[in-house]
Amino acid sequence: MKRRFNKKTVRIHAHVNPLSHGGYSPPLSPEHTDWSKHYPDHFHESKRGNSESKKVTIVDIGCGFGSLLRTLSVLFPEELILGMEIREKAVAICEKKISDLRSGVNISFRRSRSRRKSGRHKRRRSPSRSSSASSRDGFPPSYDNISVLRTNVMKFLVHYFEKGQILKMFFCFPDPHFKKSNHRRRIISQNLLSEYAFVLQVGGLIYNVTDVEDLFEWTVGHFDDHPLFEKLTEIELKNDPCVSAIRDQTDEALRVSKRKDKKYVCVY
């Protein structure tokens, strides 16, 4: 009997040193990435080197267990969406959840109170793929446009994406690295912003959300100081469904709401 992933059987480390080089096998370049393994319904293995192949355009950095990926899959069914996560066990759990979604297993990316108490994680098959989501055109989502991979974004981002490839990038509740000596480990810095700008399309957007005011001020300060980014106004964000998704619909966002803590959002 296969062992199920859950918080009672798997210890998930909250922090991994992003300055470490070990344990990663990035491709030599974006052209060397075999995306057919991640999106088999969109790629044929023989076409993996074809520059005209469909490309990933939406990225969730530090995707955790993938709750935002599920939402984005419904919001953008025509886009290829990738979660990038540094923690090996978190990636394994996310992969399993995506596999279940694709096979039509009705699951939740978060455990209910009763399941946490009992330690059981019930699943059932549903012909509609998921009772909690439906695609924009009325058909049930297939979730064949989302995937996850383990990597260190701070070191290997440009190994996966070409210049001007990414339409949207998300940083949801990143590790704040409170100690001043660890600020160099933060996912937002001037050097990293230049790399993010390189892979973004002209007019592409970076979404940020955190419940740590100090980290929010750090993030805004670095974006404001960078010549390639411009902050969107509240009016511009008013009808953006992605803002609601990162603020209210991810696992961490729900935990923050339960604590009644404030969430800080900025988009550039």
Provide the greatest CA pair distance for the chain.
Answer: 55
Count the domains in the chain: 1
Quote the DSSP letter at residue 248. Answer: I
pLDDT tens digit string along 60-119?
Answer: 999 999 999 999 999 999 999 999 999 999 999 999 999 999 998 765 555 444 444 444
Specify if 39 maps to a domain: no
Task: Say if 187 falls within a structural domain.
Answer: yes
Tokens of 246: 């990162």
Amino acid at 233: T
Q: Which two tokens stand for residue 87?
A: 């923690």
Q: Identify the CA nearest to 196 among candidates 74, 84, 67, 69.
A: 84
Beta-sheet pairing, 146-150 with 124-125: unpaired
Is the sign of the CA dihedral 102, 251, 60, 140 positive or negative?
positive
CATH number at 145 reads: 3.40.50.150
Taking the CA of residue 252 as centre, how many other CA atoms within 13 Å lie in the half-sphere pointing to its CB?
Answer: 20
36 falls within a domain: no
| 12 in any annotated domain | no
Instruction: Examine residue 9 and state whether it is found in any structural domain, yes or no.
Output: no
72 lies in a domain? yes
Judge whether 34 lies within some domain.
no
- HEC readout, 124-187: EECCCCCCCCCCCCCCCCCCCCEEEEECCHHHHHHHCCCCCCEEEEEEECCCCCCCHHHHHHCC
- Asked if 268 and 231 touch (Cβ cutoff 8 Å), the reply is yes
What's the burial of 121, exposed, middle or buried (CB within 10 Å: 0-12/13-18/19+)? middle
Backbone angles phi, psi at 60, to 5 degrees: -105, 105
From 34, 144, 175, 214, active-site residue: 175
Domain with 108 in it: 56-267
Identify the helix (H) or strand (E) that includes residue 200.
strand 200-210
The Cα 16–Cα 210 span in angstroms is: 18
28 within some domain = no
Q: Is 175 a catalytic residue?
A: yes
Q: Write down the pLDDT at residue 151.
A: 95
| Predicted confidence pLDDT, tens digits, the chain (268 residues) | 444 545 444 444 455 655 555 677 899 999 999 999 999 999 865 454 444 579 999 999 999 999 999 999 999 999 999 999 999 999 999 999 999 999 987 655 554 444 444 444 444 444 444 434 555 555 678 999 999 999 999 999 999 999 999 999 999 999 999 998 899 999 999 999 999 999 999 999 999 999 999 999 999 999 999 999 999 999 999 999 999 999 999 999 999 999 999 999 999 9
**Are residues 111 and 6 in contact, defined by beta-carbon separation less than 8 angstroms?**
yes
- Report how far residue 264's alpha carbon sits from residue 247's, in angstroms, rounded to the nearest whole number: 8
Q: pLDDT value at position 143? A: 96
